[in-house]
Chains A and B, each alone.
Chain A
Amino acid sequence: MTKPSFVYVSYIATTPEKVWQALVDTDVTRQYWVGPSAECARVNVSDWKPGSKWEHQRVDGTGTVDIVGKVVESAPPRRLVITWARPKDADDVANHSRVTFDIEPQSDGLVRLTVTHADLERDPQMLDGISGGWPKVLSNLKTLLETGRPLPRPAAAA
């Protein structure tokens, strides 16, 4: 494996099952996953079986697909590995980056969620977008799972 481009860690007072559900269940995902400029929620759609495709879709009525990829590894509720690409690169595996979600229960009732994004070097623009996106998504996810409430949206997304 090449050196990961980004590693993000969040400690969340919840269970591994709930973290897993938040990643794959669109009803949960739409409550915390916002796009880069928070204009609308996003969901990840797949049957989450190894080899299956997955799509990162906007929840704004258009169903626009911003990111696509394949499920590489799916071991609920501990580990999910997916590839990550622009839709135009769907069949060009050389341009896919790789995202790994590791969900580890800790002794103190917390769950450690680690998101590792690797092989992003080929796409500097994607690299820029993602460096701002993951911390926001993970911070929102923690708030949702610990309080049951998504973060209030800014009144104006500007």
Chain B
Amino acid sequence: MPARSSDIDKVFKALADPTRRRLLDLLRAESGQTLTALCAHMDMTRQAVTQHLQQLEEANLVAVVWQGREKLHYLNAVPLHEIYDRWIGKFERSRLGALRTLKNRLEGDDDDKA
């Protein structure tokens, strides 16, 4: 098994919330951000953002590096890859890829935002 089921549960639970997905997107756009930098993009209290980040850390979707007194947050895509291999990789990638290309084209979205 690629990961223990409790680890996978944490990843899915963490991903089930739009705020946390937004935080992951922010970290994908720019890695190594501080809490303060992330809060500037979020319409909620600093405490709420901290709690969401904590859940992402526990799911190992966010990795943290201390640089001096700054806590920097990084998107850690490794658990996402484990899910991909476990749940998507076994299906026919080429057909899924073709469907996604079609969807992106019909929706006028060439950007890889999915």
Contacts and interface: CB of A to CB of B under 8 A. Distances in A.
Given A135-B80, A139-B85, A154-B93, A9 B72 contact: no
Interface stretch (B16-24, B47-55, B59-67): B59-67
B77 interface: yes
A80 B13 CA distance: 34
A135 B2 contact: no
Interface string B81-113: 110110001000110000000000000000000
A138 interface: yes
A116 interface: yes
Contacts of A9: 60, 63, 76, 78
Interface in A1-42: 1, 3-11, 13
Contact of B1 (A5, A135, A146, A158): A146
Nearest to B77: A135
A6 B2 contact: no
Given A116-B65, A139-B2, A143-B2, A3 B82 contact: no
Contacts of B36: none
A143 B60 contact: no
B82 A8 contact: no
Contact of B2 (A8, A116, A142): A142
9 contacts: A4-B74, A6-B74, A7-B64, A7-B65, A9-B76, A131-B77, A134-B77, A135-B77, A147-B1
